Amino acid sequence: MSTPSHEVDSSVPHSARVWDYWLGGKENYPADREMGDQIAQVMPSIIDMARHDRGFLRRTVGHMVEKEGIRQFLDIGTGLPTQDNTHEVAQRVAPECKVVYVDNDPLVLAHAHALLTGSPEGVTNYLHADLNDPEGILDGARRTLDLTRPVAVMLLGIVHFIPDLDEARAITGTLMDACPPGSFLAVSHATDAADGEPMRRAVEDWNAGGAKPPLTLRSPEQIATLFEGLEVLEPGVVSTSRWRPDPDPFGEAPLVGHWCALARKAS
């Protein structure tokens, strides 16, 4: 496999930069904003989806640190730095946590210093690599993480960029096979289960517009197969807005177009 390019192509929208735009960030280009606006016109809930995905990260990392004793995180498909990055959530609870971020977008590489300002007791590192090369990711992660001890593998908004489901399952399997019992896998993944046709049209616009990489929607049942052999924690495979949500006086949050789950590798 070729090494990920370190050159930024500002003329073609990229998932990390469009996501940054939806979250109110500033590290994006006109092509990213144009694509983000185009998709939001087709499916206005896309912005809420981005925010609920960030909420899932915050809640699941908090759970793993506070309740499960996890102190090591491998966050693949990091995206551009924003509020409540994995190391910030984890190290607020346990400053000694170690986090390795992985992304293949050169703009993320350029801003990686913002991801490396963790607590002095812990460690944060960045690896410029691609999910299609899980062995390479693991080799790089071993320079920071002790893979004989439990690790949380974070794959938020990234597996849907692997078009073949069997390949996606093989990649997650390779990553989890390298981790010991007591490790966790967290995934969020695009689906049309919440928004139906608007979501399908949004993805068609994304892929037709040359955005990198192309995206594949999957059903909740297909997403569930990514966790085969693992113990899926309650409430199972659900919308990111419904995964152990914070109390809301206005009632249950609406479904959004990312489904998610957290699973444990049993002993």
Q: What would the pLDDT profile of 114-153 be if each residue is shown by its tens digit?
A: 667 777 888 999 999 999 999 999 999 999 999 999 999 9
Q: How many residues in total does the chain contain?
A: 267
Question: Is pLDDT at 172 greater than 50 in this prediction?
Answer: yes
Mean pLDDT of 93-105: 93
**Inter-residue contact 216 to 192 (CB < 8 Å):** no
Question: Is pLDDT at 267 greater than 80 in this prediction?
Answer: no
List, for residues 107-122, the tens digit of each pLDDT value: 777 777 766 777 788 8
List, for residues 46-59, the tens digit of each pLDDT value: 778 888 888 999 99
The DSSP-derived string for 120-164 is TTSEEEEEE--TT-HHHHHHHHTTTS-TTS--EEEEES-GGGS--
Closest CA to 168 of 149, 190, 183: 190
Question: Model-level pTM greater than 0.95?
Answer: no
Q: What is the number of other CB atoms lying within 10 angstroms of the CB of residue 109?
A: 16
Tell me which of 3-17, 107-121, 131-145, 191-205 is least confident.
3-17
Q: Which distant-in-sequence residues (6+ apart) come within 8 Å of 94 by Cβ? A: 65, 71, 122
Average model confidence (pLDDT) for the chain?
89
Distance CA 60, CA 55 (A): 8
DSSP state of 72: E
Mean pLDDT of 170-189: 98
* pLDDT of res. 7: 63
